[in-house]
A = this chain, B = another copy of it.
Amino acid sequence: MGTPLDDAALDTIFRSARTYNGYLDTPVREADVRAIYDLVKMGPTSANQQPARFVWCLDQSARDRLADCASDKNADKIRKAPAAVVIGMDEDFHEQLPWLFPHTDAKSWFDGDAEGRKVSAFRNGSLQGAYFIIAARALGWDTGPMSGFDAEKVNAAFFADRPKVKVNFISTLGKGDPATIFARSPRPDFEVFNRIA
């Protein structure tokens, strides 16, 4: 029940914000991604699972490595963006629950339930992916989330040392260049996908 956001803030995180195809030259620095994560980690996840694992590709070499795993059109966007992000998820997130959710034995809810962990990591890791998009916007950045990539290649390139971490989606990050976006896709009226009960 915080102070409601004003119109300019609602525009920044939802109404005027767009998914960008290209960016201005403004670099993204480590301090910027730390500030974004400091917001992301505050967003709620079930039993504070925090299953998302982020690789922030700030070096050109890392973006090139990610681009090599993406479809042609996406590869070009990734190579040219100031930064790119791999949003992964740890399907063994339950190992961390003893300190992330210390007041009860939440780890035991997931021990031996690999399928349940997979579902929970995907749902809560995706929530955290959305928190990343909104947090970046809230701090004046823009994103270009994408799912057009070879997941096996991304996992091999970025999570080879962590076999239980899998890529969920990837994104570019920077100060969006308005020249690189098209008209916004239509948005549904309330009645189309909502019901009051």
Bound Cα distance from A185 to B129, whole angstroms: 20
Which residues of A line the B interface, CB within 8 A?
Answer: 1-6, 8-17, 19, 30, 33-34, 37-39, 41-44, 46, 48, 50, 52-59, 62, 65, 90, 99-103, 120, 122-124, 126-131, 133-135, 137-143, 145-147, 158, 168-169, 175-176, 182, 185-188, 190, 193-197
Q: Please determine whether A196 and B8 come into contact, CB atoms closer than 8 angstroms.
A: no
User: Do the beta carbons of A145 and B9 come within 8 Å of each other?
Assistant: no
Residues of chain B lying within 8 A (CB to CB) of residue A102: 185-186
Is there an interface contact between A56 and B197, defined as CB atoms closer than 8 Å?
yes
Copies of this chain: 2
17 A-B pairs whose Cβ atoms sit less than 8 Å apart in the complex: A4-B138, A5-B138, A14-B42, A15-B42, A41-B187, A43-B130, A46-B146, A55-B195, A56-B195, A59-B197, A62-B197, A122-B122, A123-B126, A123-B147, A124-B126, A130-B130, A134-B134
Verify A15–B39 contact, CB threshold 8 A. Answer: yes
